[in-house]
Structure 1
Amino acid sequence: MLFSTQGFLILFLPLVLITFYGCVQVRILRQLVIISASLIFYELWSWHFVPSLILLTFINWIIACQYGKSHHKAWLTGGIIINIAMLGFFKYANFFAENVDDIFGMHHTPWNIIMPLGISFFVFQKISYLIDLRRGEKHIYSLIDFFEFVTFFPQLIAGPIVRHNEIIPQFEKNPINPQLWENISKGLCLILIGLVKKAGIAESIAMTCNPLFDQAAQGQLLNITEAWVAAIAYSLQIFFDFSGYSDMAIGTALLFGLQLPYNFNAPYQSHNLQEFWRRWHMTLSRFLRDYLYIPLGGNRCGPIRQSTNLVTTMLLAGLWHGAGWSFVAWGGMHGVGLTINHAWKKISPFSFPKPIAWMITLFFLIFSWVIFRAENFSTAAHIWQSMLGFNGVGTYKIRHNIIFYLAILLVLFCPSSQNLINKYLRPSKWIAVVGGIAAAYFILLIGGRIPDAFIYFHF
Structure 2
Amino acid sequence: MLFASQPFLLVFLPVVLGLYYAVAASRAARQGVVIGASLVFYGLWDWRFVPFLLGLTGFNQLVAMAWGRTRWRGWLWSGVWCNLGVLFGFKYMDWLVGVVFQVLGRAHTPWPVILPLGLSFFVFQKISYLVDLGRGQARVYRLADFVEFVTFFPQLVAGPIVRHNELIPQFDASPRNGHMWANLGQGGLLVLVGLGKKAGLADTLGDVCTPVFAAAASGHAPGLGAAWLAAVAYMLQIYFDFSGYSDMAIGMALMMGIRLPFNFNAPYRAVSVRDFWRRWHMTLSRFLRDYLYIPLGGNRCKPARQVCNVMVTMALAGVWHGAGWTFVLWGLLHGAALAVAHVWERAGMSMHRLAGQALTLLFVLLTWVVFRAGSLPVAGRVLAGMTGAHGMGLAPARHPLVLALAAVMALVGPASQQVVLEHIRPTPWLAVGAGVAFVLLIFLIGGRPPEPFIYFQF
Calculate the TM-score normalised by the size of structure 2.
0.99
- Separation in structure 1 between the aligned mates of residue 393 and residue 371 of structure 2, nearest angstrom: 25
Match of 1:156 in 2: 156
**Partner-residue secondary structure (3-state), 1:320:** helix
Pairwise CA distance, 1:389: 2.0
Percent identical across equivalent pairs? 52
- Separation in structure 1 between the aligned mates of residue 146 and residue 251 of structure 2, nearest angstrom: 22
Match of 1:248 in 2: 248
Instruction: State the AA in 1 paired with 2:233.
Output: A
- Separation in structure 1 between the aligned mates of residue 375 and residue 104 of structure 2, nearest angstrom: 22
- Separation in structure 2 between the aligned mates of residue 339 and residue 47 of structure 1, nearest angstrom: 44
Instruction: State the AA in 1 paired with 2:307.
Output: S
Match of 1:105 in 2: 105
Instruction: State the AA in 2 paired with 1:382.
Output: R
Note the 1:18-37 alignment, pairs <5 A.
Answer: 18-37=18-37
**Partner-residue secondary structure (3-state), 2:144:** helix
- Separation in structure 1 between the aligned mates of residue 61 and residue 165 of structure 2, nearest angstrom: 15
Note the 1:84-233 alignment, pairs <5 A.
Answer: 84-233=84-233
Match of 1:356 in 2: 355
Match of 1:448 in 2: 447
Instruction: State the AA in 1 paired with 2:166.
Output: E
Give deviations 1:167-222, integer Å, cap 9, x for gaps.
Answer: 00001111101111111111101000000000000011111110111122222222
- Separation in structure 1 between the aligned mates of residue 239 and residue 105 of structure 2, nearest angstrom: 40
- Separation in structure 2 between the aligned mates of residue 394 and residue 158 of structure 1, nearest angstrom: 36
1:12 aligns with 2:5: no
Pairwise CA distance, 1:62: 1.0
Pairwise CA distance, 1:138: 4.2
**Bigger shift: 96-105 or 128-137?**
96-105
Note the 1:30-429 alignment, pairs <5 A.
Answer: 30-349=30-349, 351-429=350-428
**Partner-residue secondary structure (3-state), 2:351:** coil
**Bigger shift: 85-94 or 219-228?**
219-228
- Separation in structure 2 between the aligned mates of residue 219 and residue 82 of structure 1, nearest angstrom: 41
Q: 1:138 to 1:454 in 2, by over 3 A?
A: closer
- Separation in structure 2 between the aligned mates of residue 342 and residue 230 of structure 1, nearest angstrom: 31
Runs of 5+ unmatched residues, structure 1: none
- Separation in structure 1 between the aligned mates of residue 441 and residue 381 of structure 2, nearest angstrom: 37
Give deviations 1:386-407, integer Å, cap 9, x for gaps.
Answer: 1122222241211111010010
**Bigger shift: 210-219 or 195-204?**
210-219
**Partner-residue secondary structure (3-state), 2:47:** coil
**Partner-residue secondary structure (3-state), 1:48:** helix
**Bigger shift: 213-222 or 271-280?**
213-222
Pairwise CA distance, 1:348: 4.7
Instruction: State the AA in 1 paired with 2:241.
Output: D
Pairwise CA distance, 1:102: 2.1
**Partner-residue secondary structure (3-state), 1:12:** helix
- Separation in structure 1 between the aligned mates of residue 63 and residue 178 of structure 2, nearest angstrom: 38
- Separation in structure 2 between the aligned mates of residue 79 and residue 394 of structure 1, nearest angstrom: 53
Give deviations 1:307-343, integer Å, cap 9, x for gaps.
Answer: 0110110000000000111100000100001111111
Pairwise CA distance, 1:379: 1.1
- Separation in structure 1 between the aligned mates of residue 65 and residue 219 of structure 2, nearest angstrom: 56
Query: RMSD of aligned C-alpha atoms?
Result: 0.9
- Separation in structure 2 between the aligned mates of residue 416 and residue 313 of structure 1, nearest angstrom: 27
Calculate the TM-score normalised by the size of structure 1.
0.98
- Separation in structure 1 between the aligned mates of residue 151 and residue 210 of structure 2, nearest angstrom: 33
Pairwise CA distance, 1:103: 2.6
**8 Å Cα contact 2:43-2:49 kept in structure 1:** yes
Q: What number of residue pairs does the alignment pair up?
A: 458
- Separation in structure 2 between the aligned mates of residue 397 and residue 145 of structure 1, nearest angstrom: 54
**Partner-residue secondary structure (3-state), 2:93:** helix
**8 Å Cα contact 2:129-2:138 kept in structure 1:** no
- Separation in structure 2 between the aligned mates of residue 104 and residue 391 of structure 1, nearest angstrom: 34
Pairwise CA distance, 1:104: 2.5
**Partner-residue secondary structure (3-state), 1:418:** helix
- Separation in structure 2 between the aligned mates of residue 287 and residue 355 of structure 1, nearest angstrom: 29
- Separation in structure 2 between the aligned mates of residue 2 and residue 102 of structure 1, nearest angstrom: 37
**8 Å Cα contact 2:235-2:368 kept in structure 1:** yes
Pairwise CA distance, 1:378: 1.0
Give deviations 1:275-306, integer Å, cap 9, x for gaps.
Answer: 00000000000000000010111001111110
- Separation in structure 1 between the aligned mates of residue 292 and residue 5 of structure 2, nearest angstrom: 36
Give deviations 1:73-118, integer Å, cap 9, x for gaps.
Answer: 1110110011001101111110111112223222222222221110
Pairwise CA distance, 1:423: 2.1
Instruction: State the AA in 1 paired with 2:376.
Output: F
**Partner-residue secondary structure (3-state), 2:244:** helix
Instruction: State the AA in 2 paired with 1:455.
Output: I
- Separation in structure 2 between the aligned mates of residue 432 and residue 269 of structure 1, nearest angstrom: 30
Pairwise CA distance, 1:384: 1.0
Runs of 5+ unmatched residues, structure 2: none
Match of 1:458 in 2: 457
Instruction: State the AA in 1 paired with 2:164.
Output: H
Q: 1:138 to 1:404 in 2, by over 3 A?
A: closer
**Partner-residue secondary structure (3-state), 1:341:** helix
- Separation in structure 2 between the aligned mates of residue 91 and residue 138 of structure 1, nearest angstrom: 29
**8 Å Cα contact 2:138-2:165 kept in structure 1:** no
Match of 1:439 in 2: 438
Instruction: State the AA in 2 paired with 1:149.
Output: F
Pairwise CA distance, 1:137: 2.2
**8 Å Cα contact 2:221-2:381 kept in structure 1:** yes
